[in-house]
Each structure stands twice: as structure tokens, then as C-alpha cells.
Amino acid sequence: MATGIAAWQTRLASQQADMANDAQQKAKTAEQQKNDAQREANQKQHEARTANRQTQIALEQLDNVRGSLVQVNQQRQVAEQQKKTAEEQARVATHQGKLADEKTRNAEARANRAIAASNQAQVERSEAQLGTRLEQQGTNVLRQFGSNQLEALRSALRVGWELQEKVSDGRPLEKYPAFSPIVALQTILSNIQEQNQIKLPRGYSAFSSDHTQIATAEKDGHIRLWNLAGQLITEFKVTSSGIRSLKFSPNNSQIVILGEDGIVRLWTATGRFITQFDVSEDSENQDGEKRTPGDIAFTPDGKRIATFFGKIRLWTLEGQLVAELKIEPDEALLSGILVDFSTSPDGQQYAVADDSYNVHLWSTAGQRIAKLDTLQTSSRGGVAPIGDRVARLSFSPDSKLIVTGGYDGTIRLWSSSGKQIAQFQKQNASISSVSFSPTGKKIATASSDGIMRLWNLSGHQIAEFRGREQDFQVIRFSPDGQQIATGGVGAIRLWQVDGQSIAEFRGDYGSPWYIAFSSDGKQLITSEQDTVHVWNVVRQRLVKFDQPQYIDGAARFIRNSVTRLRFTADSKTIIT
């Protein structure tokens, strides 16, 4: 039993030991669990603290959120207000946009109107400038018409075309930018008389008497023949030296040329050489050269050639000297410089005045007829004063009378035999021109003081014409004797024989050297140093005006030194 108890006690002790171990183990476990619990509690505390912190943070965040919500609410309210404001502003902006669009459209419309107005102003300004230019050009064309009709017509057409192009929109006449081009063109078309201008090389020239050709001599020694349309017909070289003069024969089949070398060359009008001969003087000039005649011409019958230089020599066409016009043996025809030279209308006499006091009459056959005694008694036996010298002379139409005008204003009438018939009342100025009427019963004289007088053959003054100084340097009667043409610086004037001025022909030229009417009286030719003008007398409209009107020429021919010229009998050709 004791053993049993001991065993039981042993078992109990073992059990208790086991239980103690278990308890210890449990204690350890409990301690461990306690530790774990403590640790967990610590952890929980830590977590609690963390949770508390997080809660605090959350609370803070909540507060922040709440504050943010408040702020958001405020911002939302502000945003809503701003939205409302923005919407209002949008509405205002939309309205303003509409207003701006309207203003833009209005501005664009105004801008377009301004641009259109500017363009119109530019057009009007350009048109005004064009109008001013065209107006000035039209005025200039009318001025030009006074001196160059064809060029004025061309200019008027150019200006007219430019104006027509500008007004091609069909505007009424009162809207035209200029009117003078229309006036100029109408005036020119109504009054133009110039039919053509023939521009020839500068140099000597001559017209054929059949009014078909013009011969020109040029510095290079060429002769060129032209028709009246200005077209070259033929040309040929006649000399390597210069050419001094050339003339057609009366039948126009030949041309005679005087060279600077003193050689006369005869050619056909077709350019075939015929012959040549020397006509230079035996004496020498101050340069030691032979004297060369200054001019050359055919006699009216075409059988002889006359050369002029201090004396007149007549030659056959073969070059034989047949006559030399001298006063006395070994005395030259001209004692000084040639002042005036006239051929009688019947072609039988020459009258020559030099710058001393001599006037000599010669037959065209070379016979001396007379020497006109122009000296005053007080001048005989000595040197003649200037007043005694003859300035101008002219034959009557029947070749029976000669009128002379002196530097002292003395006018004398002579027979063709050299006898003085009458002496007119002395003038106060030198005589610049004299001319017989076609009937030979009246004489017109012009003096340097600007007065022209009409006389009968007894020396009685019939009429007086007053103009400006140098207005009457050349005078000529019309074929019917009812009009007188006078030439002065820059103007040719037409007068009735009663002294009334009826027309004035103006141009850009100097003093005319010669004037001649056509046989029908419808045309007038004038020559100056290098130009021949042809004027249309008939087309002037003087009956419509109270004052003399201005008429320009119908043609002009350029040449060198035109000193004598006349129309042929049919009035179709000018001989220079």
C-alpha cells in the first residue's frame, strides 16, 4: 500500500511534477503570452497611439477637409458667382461681339467706301492731271499750228486719241477732262492748208519746172533726185569737192552743177555725165586760190549757162566763153558787192546794182545797154555818199520801166534805155523793197521805218500802209493787183491795195528774202535763208472776223540760201 501510495505519490508527484512542468510550461507560456500580450498591448498601444495620431491627423485632415469644403464651398460660390459673372460677361461679350461685328462691318463698309473714295479721288486726280496735260497739249498744238501745220495735226491726233481712250466710257461732253484737244483738232481740220512736208538733206536744191522732181546737192558731192512724195529717184556722184550751186535746164532734161573747185559739170537728169569745164577766174583771192563764181544758171532758152561773181559770164553748153558783161574794157561789172539783181520779164535784160552807186543794164546776149545815173549832182567827181546808193530795183511787167529805191529814201523811175523819167517824193528812211503792180501802172515801195506806200507813175502817193519796223522788207503784188504781200521778221502779211490788212501768215522763221504769188493768186511762196514756205491764200476766212487772221503755210521745202524763186505758169511748180 505504501508502495502503492508511494507509487501513487510518485505518480502523483510525477503528475504534479508534470503538472508543475505543465504549469511552469504554462507559466512560461503564460509569461510568453503575457510578454506577447504585453508586446501586443504595446503594439496595440503603439497602434492606438498611431491610430490616435492618425485619428488626430484624420481629424486635422477632416478639419482641413471641412475647411477645404468650406473653402471649396466658398470657391464654388465664388466660382458660381464668377460663372454667373462670366456668363453675364459672356452675354455682354456676345452682345459686344455682335456690336463689334456690326462695327467691324460698318468699319469695313466705311473702309471700302474710303478705299472707293480714295480710288475715285486717285482716278479724279489722275484724270485731272491728264486733263491738265491734255489741255496744255491742246493749247500747245494750236500754238504749233502757226508754224508747222502737219506736225500740229499729228500732235492733235495723238492728243485726241488719248482723250478718246479716256472718255470711251460714254460720258457726256461736259464730263470730258479737257476740251482744248477737241478745239485744236477741229480748228486744225477746218483751217489746215499744209498738204505735205518733204524733208530733204541739207544742202543746195532745185525744183524741176515740170513739178515732178527736186534735185539736192550734198556735201559729199552726190546729187540726189527726189519726187514730191520724198522718195529717192536716183543719185550719182559728180565731184569729190563741195557743190556751190545746181540748176535744172528749162526743159528739165539736164542739170548743171557748179563745184567749189570752179568746175561746171553738166549731167542729164537721169544721171549720165555730159561734159565739164572750168569757169574759175584767173585772179586769186586772199588765200591764193582761184576765184570761183558764186552762182550759176541756165539762160531762158537753155542754150547757155551764166555764172555770177563780180561779173556775169555767159558760156555755151560745151564750155566756151561767149560773153562777159563789163562796163568798160578790163572793168568788172560790179565795182563792189552785189546789192540787187533783176531780170526783165521778157528775159532780154539784166539790171544789176552794187554797193557803191552803180546800176547797170545789160542784154542777156551780153551787150551793155546803159548805166543809170543815180548820183546827185553834189556827189559827182567824188566818192558817192551812202544816200546816193541804190538799195532795191525792179522791172515793170512790160520790161519797159525800172524803179530804183535808194538808201536815202529816194525813188526813181527809169526807162529800159537808162533815162530817168520821174523822181518821187523823198522818204525819211532807206528803201527796203520796190515792186510794180501787174498792170505796171502802180508802184509799191517799202521803207525801213515800217511804212509801205503805193504810187502812180507820176510820183503821186495813192495809199499808205503802216506796220512795225522791218515789216516791209519784201513786197509783191498779187496777179490781179488787188492785194499786196509783205514780208518781215516772223510774219508775212496780206493787204488790200487801199491799205487794209486782211491776213497775217505767221511762222518760226526770220526775214524772207523773196516773195512770189502763183499765177492764179491762190498760193504764195516765201523764201528765207534755208527754207521755202508755200502759203494757201484762198482758204483764209477773213470775212468772218473783224481783225486780220493768222494762216500758216501749205508746205515747206528745206534748202540752202534761197535767194530767187518763182512759180511756173501753171502755178504747180516752184523754181528756185
483-509 pLDDT, tens per residue? 998 887 767 888 888 888 888 776 655
| pLDDT at 401 exceeding the cut of 90 | yes
List pLDDT tens digits, range 54-78.
777 767 776 776 777 777 677 777 7
Q: Which residues pair with 275 in a beta bridge?
A: 266
CB atoms within 10 A of CB 383: 8
pLDDT average, residue stretch 146-160: 68
Cβ neighbours of 93 (radius 10 Å): 12
pLDDT at 335: 46
How confident is the prediction for the chain on average, in pLDDT? 72
Q: What is the CA radius of gyration of the chain?
A: 61
Q: Is pLDDT larger for residue 441 or for residue 160? A: 441
pLDDT of 437 reads 93
Q: Please report, to the nearest 10 degrees, the dihedral formed by the alpha carbons of residues 504, 510, 513, 516 taken in order.
A: -30
Q: Which grid cell sits at 433?
A: 523793197
The pLDDT assigned to 60 comes to 76
Between 189 and 485, whose confidence is greater?
Answer: 485
- Write down all domains in the chain, each with its CATH number in brackets: 202-325 (2.130.10.10)
Strands 214-217 and 574-575: unpaired
pLDDT of residue 230: 66
- Distances in Å between the alpha carbon of 217 and those of 223, 240, 260, 268, 528? 5, 12, 12, 15, 18
Q: Are 201 and 193 in contact (CB under 8 A)?
A: no
Residue 540 to residue 533: CA distance in whole angstroms: 16
Lowest mean pLDDT among 244-248, 313-317, 470-474, 526-530: 526-530
Which neighbouring-strand residues pair with 425? none
Query: What's the confidence (pLDDT) of residue 304?
Result: 81
Q: How far apart are CA 421 and CA 403, in angstroms?
A: 10
* pLDDT of 545 higher than 50: no
What's residue 413's pLDDT?
Answer: 92
From the centroid of its chain, how far is CA 40? 127
* Distance separating alpha carbons of residues 264 and 279, to the nearest angstrom: 7
Calpha distance 340→473 (Å, rounded): 13
Q: Which of the residue ranges 104-108, 172-176, 260-264, 557-561 would you say has the lowest mean pLDDT?
A: 557-561
Q: Specify the higher pLDDT residue, 365 or 85.
A: 85
With contact defined as beta carbons under 8 Å apart, do 350 and 364 qualify?
yes
Which strands make up the sheet holding 232-237, listed edge to edge? 204-207, 214-217, 222-226, 232-237
Taking CA atoms, 519 is separated from 318, 451, 516, 532, in Å, by 35, 27, 9, 18
Best CA proximity match to 497, nearest among 513, 512, 519, 480: 480
User: With contact defined as beta carbons under 8 Å apart, do 217 and 205 qualify?
Assistant: yes
Q: What is the mean pLDDT of residues 285-297?
A: 59
pLDDT digit string, tens, across residues 220-251 = 788 888 776 667 888 888 887 778 888 888 78
Helix spans in 167-281 (H): 180-191
Asked if residue 106 has pLDDT above 70, the reply is yes
pLDDT at 440: 93
Those residues with Cβ within 8 angstroms of residue 249's Cβ, 6 or more apart along the chain or in another chain = 255, 256, 298, 302
pLDDT for the residue 289 = 52
**Cell digits for 320?**
566756151
